[in-house]
């Protein structure tokens, strides 16, 4: 079966001079059948998608934990890649695998300087989702990012357990960044999160931490954030929520507080 999706983001306030339209999100075409699913185009990486199971907000908001996790030494692994091909396997007893390949379309060793490497990306994941238990792991490899011949690597594990009206989750990841042929930094990030449902109301809390690397060279390192959410569901399709986040950037000894209200309606 042929499949097609076009997804775009719209910002009414025109943030960043994007006007009403704010870029293409997951969009592509492909095939789906008993063999699984293959899609070409622009799509979230398997590494990024793992976190969605414990995400309290849309990951484009200021309250999301992705403002802290998935980052190290200025690199962001919460990525949606263009010019990619991705495969999802069928589910076998709650187990599913995903594999994404992103070629380096700018590769040209004939330009100056020569031998600029091959900046391709491979992202893969394996998930187990059965009854009240979810466990997943992901690996992403980025070749020749700064120095030709050096490879950046990221590992992520996510778990979630449902306990009736309460669910709890956690994530831990390790990101290795090669700043040069002789300077490699590894950052460890983690998050704990939970949500409690009482009739139409939901209360949730998240704490995320990006650990510093050996030199603490980037602003993205050594950052923590706590976020809280209260949501009320008017129906299965519509809910209103209030959110608050406090972000602590330890390197610069600065804090950022964000508060807001929102409405979600699913068509």
Q: What does the pLDDT look like over 32-49, one tens digit per residue?
A: 999 999 999 999 999 999
pLDDT-based confidence at 12, cuts 50/70/90?
A: low
pLDDT-based confidence at 73, cuts 50/70/90?
A: confident
Is the Cβ–Cβ distance between 67 and 247 less than 8 Å? yes
**Cα R_g (the chain), whole angstroms:** 20
Query: Which residue from 169, 230, 173, 229 is spatially nearest to 194, judged by alpha carbons?
Result: 169
Q: What does the pLDDT look like over 178-200, one tens digit per residue?
A: 777 777 788 899 999 999 999 99
The encoded tokens of residue 28 equal: 């592509």
Is the Cβ–Cβ distance between 222 and 209 less than 8 Å? no
Query: Which residue from 211, 224, 208 is spatially nearest to 169, judged by alpha carbons?
Result: 208
Residue 37 sits at φ, ψ, to 5 deg, of -145, 135
More confident residue, 25 or 202: 202
Q: What does the pLDDT look like over 230-266, one tens digit per residue?
A: 999 999 999 999 999 999 987 777 888 999 999 999 8
For the entire predicted model, the pTM comes to: 0.86
d(CA 232, CA 120): 44
pLDDT value at residue 22:
59
Residue 136 reports pLDDT greater than 50: yes
pLDDT-based confidence at 216, cuts 50/70/90?
A: very low
d(CA 217, CA 185): 9
Residue 219 reports pLDDT greater than 50: no
pLDDT value at residue 117:
73
The region of weakest confidence among 146-150, 198-202, 222-226 is 146-150
Residue 131 reports pLDDT greater than 60: yes
The encoded tokens of residue 92 equal: 């076998």
Q: Does domain 34-265 have CATH number 2.40.160.10?
A: yes
Q: To the nearest whole number, what is the mean pLDDT of the chain?
A: 87
Alpha helices in the chain (DSSP H): 46-49
CA dihedral in degrees (115, 187, 56, 242; nearest 10)?
-110
Q: Strand, helix or coil at 218? A: coil
């Amino acid at each position: 079966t042929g499949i097609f999706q076009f997804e775009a983001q719209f910002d009414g306030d025109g943030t960043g001079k994007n006007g009403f339209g704010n870029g293409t999100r997951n969009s592509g075409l492909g095939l789906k059948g008993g063999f699984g699913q293959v899609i070409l185009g622009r799509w979230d990486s398997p590494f990024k998608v793992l976190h969605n199971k414990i995400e309290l907000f849309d990951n484009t908001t200021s309250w999301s934990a992705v403002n802290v996790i998935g980052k190290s030494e200025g690199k962001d692994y919460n990525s949606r890649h263009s010019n990619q091909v991705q495969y999802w396997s069928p589910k076998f007893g709650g187990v599913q695998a995903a594999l994404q390949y992103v070629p380096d379309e700018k590769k040209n060793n004939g330009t100056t300087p020569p031998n600029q490497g091959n900046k391709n990306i491979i992202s893969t994941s394996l998930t187990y989702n059965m009854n009240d238990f979810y466990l997943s792991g992901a690996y992403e490899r980025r070749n020749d990012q700064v120095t030709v011949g050096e490879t950046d690597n990221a590992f992520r594990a996510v778990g979630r357990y449902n306990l009736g009206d309460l669910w709890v989750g956690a994530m831990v990841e390790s990101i290795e960044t090669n700043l040069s042929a002789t300077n490699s930094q590894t950052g460890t990030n983690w998050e704990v999160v939970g949500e409690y449902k009482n009739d139409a109301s939901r209360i949730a809390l998240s704490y995320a931490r990006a650990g510093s690397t050996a030199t603490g060279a980037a602003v993205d390192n050594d950052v923590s954030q706590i976020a809280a959410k209260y949501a009320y569901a008017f129906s299965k399709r519509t809910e209103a929520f209030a959110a608050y986040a406090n972000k602590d950037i330890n390197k610069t000894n600065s804090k950022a507080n964000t508060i807001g209200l929102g409405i979600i309606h699913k068509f």
